[in-house]
Structure 1
Amino acid sequence: MPRLDLVAHPLAYVREQRGWTQAHVASIVARGRNMATWKQKVYRWERRGVRPEPAAQHALAEALGVPGGLVDAHPWPEWLLYSEGMPAAPDGTPVSAAWSADQARSTLAGTVSALTDRRGFLILSGAAIGALAAGWTEPWRFVPQEKVVRTLGGGRTDHELVSAIEKRLADLWILDDLVGGETTARLAVNDLELVTGLLNNSSYSQAVERRLFRVAGGLCRQAGWGAFDGGRPAAAERYWHAGLRAAKEARDIDGGVYILSNMAMQRFYAGDGAASLALLEASRASRGRLGRTVLAMLDTWQVRAHAKLGRRAEAARALARAEAHWERRRPEDDPAWIYWMQRPSSMIETNRALLELGRPAEVPRNLSSWVDLDRDAYPRDHALALTVVAAAQIGMGEADAAVATGRRALRLLRSVDSGRVGGELRLLLDRLPDDRATRDFRDQITEEARPT
């Protein structure tokens, strides 16, 4: 599973941009104190998640030109994102820029190459997330029917061509289930480049333009999901930012909600429950009627977000709402992309939330359909579900059962290109007892599920 060598921390990225070494950063914050000690601290800030003391943060901020107020207002390492100006997508489009067709085209064009983004951390600050969610929920601008059809340079795009691209997008959903996100992200980007070229260089009717923006949003959603699944969160945010703008131009409410829900999932995987909840609330506030299955999905993701914040009662209420929506769902109201949704209590993320809330005994029963599955129809999700069950078994003191379950997950992972699932499997190592009985399994995970 080849991947780029990711820059895994914002401070490492800032250093790389300026040609600074860790020793350079240490010299900035040491101020006459033991240089060797400070160099070790910089290493721990980047590699072990240690938070620098306030004085060191302010010294570094001064060198980077970041106002002290931003350091106080944004927790480490988020304020580092302000060292190059206010939060913006890496193509130069601020998340608060006007929501217009021209801006959507520009953002799409600047996002096609986002898979080359090496940053292995989230690039949108809490303030930027709020601005993006607010932009999505602003009143929609409906184009007057009498508006003259825009004509750009080049040939004319018709409905038949757009239909072919839409069919390819639907095929990518299924392919993603089978081979993982890394592969399908590259395929989605190829089609996104085609659609972006059509939007910028061809002529088309108003109805075709709307369909082009709609499929562009869907391809950005897929590319972002693949980047997230492959362990490139910064690239994922770039695609989703562009996709949200495209979805709004297409007036594709369901598509925009899907993008926001993917962004929310990435946030709670990163441990940011508050930002995840903000994105999910923005989804729910979208203008237009959402189907019961979509509402069940949003509530299911809220269970995990509340669990990240330790909110047991809120998590329980969100799960109850999700189950109620599920019972009252009407399949004919469902968008095509939500084919994967199951009963909320049996969803993988719900049961990860139960683990975080200290309720491991409920997990094997809730995920029994995955435990009992003897075929590989959905190898990535099957492997992910088994890692959750293994973690629950460890929590119940059943290390031998956890190793057996983990081995099944590892076998499935061999056929899937998913750095996300590999990372979850590696996390089992922190929970397993370090003894002879688990040593062979540890060696297997270290060798086969290592980051690449």
Structure 2
Amino acid sequence: MEQPTEPATDNPLADLLHHAGLSPERLIARINERRRRRGSHPLDPKSAYPWLRPHPARPTQDNQTDALAVLSARTGHTVTAQQLGWTGPRRRPRRCIDAPGEAPVSDLLREIGQGEPVERRNLLLLAGTTVTAPALALLITADNPLDNHRGEHPPPQLAANIENAVRELRTLDDSDGSTTALTWASGLWQSTARVITTIRGDNPTTRRVHQAFIELCEQFGWMLFDDDRQPQAQRVYQSGMSLAREATSTSDIRSATGNLLASAAYQASWLAQHSEAKSLLDAAQRISAGSPPRLRAVIADRAVFAAGRRGDTEALRRARDSAHDHLDQTGHDIPWWSQWLSHHAIDAATGRAWLAARAPDTAEPYLTRRLETVSAETYPRDRMLAILDLADTQRLRGDLTTARSLTRQAHTLTDRVESPRARNRLHEVTNAFPQHP
């Protein structure tokens, strides 16, 4: 049973909670009731504790308004911000990039455009509802639509230039790996965020810029993930979700958002955040209802890997069949960012999933076929990862000679592949071999 906090004369809020018979958790529960009525996602039950420290953090404006209303109703008299020391300059203001899902998108984009490159920031890995809240918020109508009343009308050529830059970034990442283009990607991400804060009007060009930023968040987030900068990748993915929630909902924006959620779910699976990955995939599937079958195939392909990582072989089979079925239904409407997906790619994901599920005999034929279809000239990183997955499979099957031979083949590609993810995988497979006496 929760107990009221002890009185603390150096913290007015702690003292007030004690006299009102409220625990910090109960205060947040009452605040969440107010947030639920207006469709906002709930705060973490421990959110009030930073407000009770000897040098307390101050709530955001929305949380402050809710807290004052709850406290006033509980005590029977008006509680003001002045009484709680919540006036004057804020101490150590929380950066929007620390919690993109909670920040107004206009403030978030302004911070992105003016701040230091995200890949150099010292950020903590997110987990639990902090990861999934921005995705679930996409399923709720936005309370604060993006402010498009100030700024300039964007020229169509601006949108075209951003779109072309994002596509060129994908090509460079595919051919050379993530590290080479990371600085360019970061600059493009910041510049596009800055553009969005300076344009106005709900028109086709503005929507194209918004869509391009969401696609850029997916691409840049994937590159950060490949570069083993997981906290930064999470923030970039969430920035795209935040814009998607407040931008005009078009079929193209929903498709780009579904693809972004699928990539975020892949990262969560890689990090063994299985519950978070499932929530992200569920949101992607709901958003993609009515979208091109190829997008639904991409989401199903990510679900294959997620199922294998958590050891759910039945879900793995269902997702594999669904991915192939959706791909068979693809017509001429093929989003550019989905051109990588093929039946061979789905089989490759299936092999990786069976390997993750510790079923190497089942994985082996899939991964052998995958290796036959990946070119070292066009996609050296994918080739290296394919070799290592097959090497790991043969190791688990007991064929150490073949496994070691494959690992040596992968090592020959390291000079051509700028990918910490691939290099980490090489060390992981190499270190898993039995040591010679």
TM beyond 0.5: yes
Paired position in structure 2 for 1:342: 342
Give the deviation of 1:130 after TM superposition: 2.9
Aligned counterpart, 2:232: 235
1:137 aligned partner = 139
**Which residue matches 1:23?**
none
Measured against aligned partners, the alpha-carbon deviations of 1:115-138 in whole angstroms (never above 9, x if no partner) come to 11244x622x21112311211222
**Is the Cα–Cα contact under 8 Å of residues 224 and 239 in structure 1 kept in the other structure?**
yes
Separation in 2 of the partners of 1:83 and 1:388? 45
Q: Given the alignment, which residue of 120, 128, 131 partners 1:116?
A: 120
Identity of aligned residues (%): 20
Quick one: which amino acid aligns to residue 265 of structure 1?
Y
Identify unmatched segments of 5+ residues in structure 2: 1-23, 29-43, 51-56, 61-92
Give yes or no for contact 2:301–2:346 (8 Å, CA) kept in 1: no
- Asked if the contact 1:346–1:366 (Cα under 8 Å) also holds between the matched residues in 2, the reply is no
Aligned to 1:444: none
Shift of 1:336: 0.8
Task: Work out whether 1:196 is the aligned partner of 2:193.
Answer: yes
Measured after TM superposition, the shift of residue 150 of structure 1 is 3.2
2:359 counterpart of 1:352: no
Distance in 1 separating the partners of 2:429 and 2:348: 16
The residue type equivalent to 2:257 in the other structure is: G
Q: Deviations over 1:99-128 (max 9, x none)?
A: x66356346436762111244x622x2111
Residue identity in the other structure for 2:428: L
Matched residue SS, 1:285: helix
Query: Structure 1 residue 406: deviation in Å?
Result: 1.2
Larger of the two Rg values belongs to structure:
2
The CA deviation string for residues 276-320 of structure 1, in whole angstroms up to 9 with x for no partner, is 111001000116522222212212222222223222222222222
Shift of 1:172: 1.0
1:273 aligns with 2:277: no
Tell me the residue number matched to 2:317.
316
Contact 2:176 2:381 in 1 (8 A): yes
SS of equivalent to 1:137: coil
User: Aligned equivalents of 1:432 and 1:79: distance in 2?
Assistant: 45
Q: In structure 2, give the amino acid aligned to 1:122.
A: L
Moved more, 357-366 or 292-301: 357-366
TM-score, structure 2 normalization: 0.71
SS, match of residue 212 in structure 1 = helix
Paired AA for residue 353 in structure 1:
A
Structure 1: gaps spanning 5 or more residues: 1-65, 71-77, 437-452
- The residue type equivalent to 1:324 in the other structure is D
Q: CA RMSD in A?
A: 3.6
Return 421-430 or 360-369, whichever deviates more.
360-369
Q: Which residue of 2 aligns with 1:26?
A: none
Q: Is the 8 A contact 2:100 2:108 kept in 1?
A: no
Deviation at 1:204, TM superposition (A): 6.6
1:397 equivalenced with 2:386 (yes/no):
no
Question: In the TM superposition, what is the alpha-carbon distance from 1:384 to its structure 2 partner?
Answer: 0.8
SS of residue paired to 2:423: helix
Q: Which amino acid aligns with 1:164?
A: N
Offset at 1:207? 3.1
Tell me, in whole angstroms, the C-alpha distance in 2 between the residues paired with 1:254 and 1:204.
Answer: 22
Q: Deviations over 1:350-395 (max 9, x none)?
A: 2221012232123342233443356421011111111110011101
1:102 paired residue among 102, 106, 109? 106
Report the TM-score, using the length of structure 1 for normalisation.
Answer: 0.69
Structure having greater relative contact order (Cα 8 Å, sep ≥ 6): 1
- Matched residues in 1 for 2:202 and 2:357: separation? 52
Alpha carbons 2:186, 2:220 under 8 Å: kept: yes
Quick one: distance in 2 between partners of 1:134 and 1:163? 30
Q: Following superposition of structure 1 onto structure 2, how do residues 419-434 of structure 1 map, counting pairs within 5 Å?
A: 419-434=420-435
Amino acid corresponding to residue 258 of structure 2 in structure 1: V
Query: Within the alignment, does 1:206 sit opposite 2:203 as a pair?
Result: yes
Distance change >3 Å, CA 226–CA 268, structure 1 → 2: same
